[in-house]
Structure 1
């Protein structure tokens, strides 16, 4: 592997025709230039110059290296410019993996502010549920993962990930607007024991079954869906009722569906996870700040 400093010095020696002239051009001493060229010749394993009188002549190896020197230096300069742009947030990429309700509520504002303030930084959105989202972050396949957990039902967090609490998200029940309990501000889970239910994602479903067991009944689950819009449509059509986090209420689309706080109060916790080394990347750190700021405006914070 060639030292880039030696390549630049070699380029100037060829350009100026001597070690002395190259030293003046680079602000070095003549012995320093001579030492660098000897080091470069050791790296390449063959002489690059021969002396002809007081001058220098390129060997065949030196001529071969000369043909590549400009391209090497141009590539190094381009790389440095690109790195500087990333460090100064003029360009870059942040990959965010989020579960659907966070992608619909927390991320839009954070992404909009990032685009307005740093238009050269591209935010790429991926959707996945925990624990897979945590595994993606731990493998470096995303930069930030948004994930949730319930009391007693949290996914194991890989030790290489840093954890940031975003908010607590209370659970609500989706009811048809004509339901007798829809007139209440909050609804007790035990009062819904005789209902038919639409269950959600596996982790949400497991928490729901546990909550029902604590209230002394086993729910009649008519069907299961991970899609919040499908769930709303099913509730609107009278197929069943559903327990959803309050974040979902911000994109409640059906006029025939209403949400009520569920008692006893249960809250899921929402977190952001980042590889500890990725916290030193400016674009990732800034996007995390934007996500945390957006979460402060949501429920439960």
Structure 2
């Protein structure tokens, strides 16, 4: 049986006119090319090249095999293209995990775009574990998770793609004395009672670390599980809170929102992609959609909240 790879080597010799030139084009040594041609001649049982001056010319058999090698090359290219087209139709299941505010502002718009392009895709959607959001990705139960993860922190088997920086804002009851200031120093809040909007984990860490940098620990008097409830407790006068900008898209009418500094706590939102799944066209499409949505959202987040929320 003729070796297809050796036929391609022969074709390179025929098209380039010499063994040396073919070796350079293929990245082989001339000796290796000569050995491949010799082995193919042995398989064919007939000479394939004839030496002419410093070069070579194909025999009739050599031209015949070279033409077939060209046909095979075109067929392989066509097969690769067909496979790429088939993969691009994207079928199967894509497993995605996210936290609440990212689900509404990032994941949903990105998925809407992905489904328009690939309607055959099935989705497995679910919330992340707030204390250990990478578990399902690392264990292969999810292909991608939108997580809060500090820059520079890596995890084996996971590729992290930065999406957005989401700064925290102070949320005060309407009529609070500090509401008269347009920008608050974090130390202004040191002696306040606080409503905690997140449980222990990556979303609470920027708040704790920011307060520590400002020289105090927040006095949490009320615990809440979501930003809407946090605003309700703040509106009732039970305390103040720090809520990330993306968690303030629906503001309670009885609270005011103010930018903070010294420092400004920020949570870093990233897409955690399972490296073993990273070659899937569906996953690449979703990641592109997430980055597109994040890029459109970033200017508004960097400015803080729209005027109607202030």
* Pairwise TM-score range, normalised by the shorter structure: 0.5 to 0.7
| Partner residue in 2 for 1:56 | none
Give 2:27's aligned residue: none
Aligned to 1:190, the other structure's residue is in SS state helix
Residue of structure 2 in register with 1:105 after alignment = 105
Distance in 1, matches of 2:174 and 2:274, equals: 44
Aligned partners of 1:234, 1:291: CA distance in 2, in Å? 32
CA RMSD of aligned residues (A): 2.4
SS at match of 1:132: coil
Instruction: Kindly report which structure 2 residues correspond to 1:1-301, keeping only aligned pairs within 5 A, or say none.
Output: 87-129=87-129, 132-150=132-150, 157-199=154-196, 200-203=198-201, 204-252=203-251, 254-264=252-262, 265-298=264-297, 299-300=301-302
8 Å contact from structure 2 (residues 137, 144) kept in 1: yes
**Residue 300 of structure 1: how far off its partner (Å):** 3.8
| Aligned-partner Cα distance in 1 for 2:256–2:109 | 25
Deviates more, 1:110-119 or 1:282-291: 110-119
Shift of residue 251 of structure 1? 3.0
| CA distances 1:126-151 after superposition (whole Å, capped 9, x unpaired) | 11145522121011111111111357
Cα-to-partner distance string for 1:81-125 (whole Å, 9 max, x where unaligned): xx9997233532211111111112111211111222222212332
Unpaired runs of at least 5, structure 1:
1-82
> Where does structure 1 differ by over 6 angstroms across 4 or more consecutive aligned residues?
83-86
1:91 and 1:103, CA in 2 relative to 1: closer, same or farther beyond 3 A? same
Q: 1:243 offset after TM fit, Å? A: 0.8
User: 2:167·2:265 contact (CA, 8 Å) conserved in 1?
Assistant: yes
Tell me the distance in 2 between the aligned counterparts of 1:139 and 1:247.
29
Shift of residue 182 of structure 1?
2.2
The size of the alignment, in residue pairs, is 215
How far residue 293 of structure 1 moved from its aligned partner, in angstroms, is 0.8
Please state how far the C-alpha of 1:157 moved relative to its aligned partner.
3.7
Q: Offset of 1:210 from its aligned partner?
A: 3.0
For 1:218-274, what per-residue CA distance to the aligned partner results, in whole angstroms no more than 9, with x for missing partners? 32211222312211211111111111111112233x111232211122322111111
Whole-Å separation in 2 of the counterparts to 1:193 and 1:267: 18
Segment drifting more, 206-215 vs 238-247: 206-215
TM-score by length of 1: 0.65
TM-score by length of structure 2 reads 0.63
Unaligned runs of 5+ in 2: 1-82, 304-310
CA distance in 2, matches of 1:206, 1:266: 9
Question: CA–CA distance in 1 between the matches of 2:206 and 2:114?
Answer: 35
Q: Distance in 1 between matches of 2:288 and 2:161?
A: 10
Note if contact 1:129-1:147 (Cα within 8 Å) is conserved in structure 2: no
Q: State the alpha-carbon separation in 2 of the partners of residues 201 and 104 from structure 1.
A: 20
SS in 2 for 1:271: strand
The change in CA–CA distance for 1:210 and 1:92 in structure 2 (over 3 A counts) is same
Distance in 1 of aligned mates of 2:116 and 2:124: 15
How many angstroms does 1:213 deviate by?
2.8
Kindly tell me: are residues 133 and 218 of structure 1, through their superposed partners in 2, closer, same or farther at Cα, counting changes over 3 Å?
Answer: closer
